Structure 1
């Protein structure tokens, strides 16, 4: 504990950087709490390092409380807006260009399956297709291939 209090500014900056790394790398900016806390810890340590704030645990506590609250008030809405901005474009890949001949009938229910790359995929189609029809994958979902006549 004595080591931490003797090196409080450096300890706070290290903790701040660790909180930011965890927020960005591990949590993927899904929660903003560690982001605000990381900014606060780093800023407090920096201000203590340049003697703008007194080097004490009480000052560190109050400074982090105020800076975290200020970051939350100022940054919450812009960050939330950024997080809600989702790109819904369908991803194009070579996988979507797959074509094959059906071994069983296919409809919207997804009863038929097709084994591809070691995975058994459900097959679905907008219109009923009979076995022996040459089809192409037009859309993919989790565990499902949507097919249409070539």
Structure 2
């Protein structure tokens, strides 16, 4: 404890960096509370090391309380908005280049199935496609492959 008191600004900055690493690397900015706390520890430790604040546990406690509250009030809405942003672009993966020949007719109802990678997928199409037609997967939903003829 004596070592920490002699090096309080550095200890606060190290704890702040640890809190930020946990928030970003482990929790993926899911709580954002540790972000505010880690930043307040860094700010308090830096302020103590350059002489703005005195080196005492009481000052560290109150400074972290006030700075965490200010950061939470100021950054809560922008960070919450950033968390709730949804990416709407379609994900490309190994289905993007999947082509095969139909064994049965395909319609929009999804009555036809196709076994791929150990899963029985329903096949759907915006237009009726006859059996024997070479098709590619244009998009996929849960358990459903939407297909189009290769010639289109």
- TM-score of the pair, normalised by structure 1: 0.81
Q: Secondary structure at the match of 1:112?
A: strand
For residues 113 and 143 of structure 1, what CA distance do their matches in structure 2 show?
Answer: 10
- The alpha carbon displacement at 1:21 in A equals 1.7
Superposition pairs of residues 7-86 of structure 1, within 5 angstroms: 7-86=7-86
For residues 69 and 102 of structure 1, what CA distance do their matches in structure 2 show?
Answer: 62
Q: Which runs of 5+ in 1 are unaligned?
A: none
For residues 18 and 141 of structure 1, what CA distance do their matches in structure 2 show?
Answer: 40
Question: Taking structure 1 as reference, are residues 120 and 84 closer, same or farther at Cα in structure 2, changes over 3 Å only?
Answer: same
- The alpha carbon displacement at 1:63 in A equals 0.6
Greater mean deviation of Cα atoms: 56-65 or 26-35: 26-35
Q: Which runs of 5+ in 2 are unaligned?
A: none
For residues 65 and 91 of structure 1, what CA distance do their matches in structure 2 show?
Answer: 43
Question: Taking structure 1 as reference, are residues 65 and 87 closer, same or farther at Cα in structure 2, changes over 3 Å only?
Answer: same
Superposition pairs of residues 89-108 of structure 1, within 5 angstroms: 89-92=89-92, 95-103=95-103, 106=106, 108=109
For residues 120 and 80 of structure 1, what CA distance do their matches in structure 2 show?
Answer: 38
Q: Give the count of matched residue pairs.
A: 148
- Tell whether the 8 Å contact from 1:13 to 1:41 is kept in structure 2 after alignment: yes
- The alpha carbon displacement at 1:147 in A equals 1.8
Question: Taking structure 1 as reference, are residues 60 and 143 closer, same or farther at Cα in structure 2, changes over 3 Å only?
Answer: farther
- The alpha carbon displacement at 1:55 in A equals 1.1
- TM-score of the pair, normalised by structure 2: 0.80
Question: Taking structure 1 as reference, are residues 111 and 5 closer, same or farther at Cα in structure 2, changes over 3 Å only?
Answer: farther
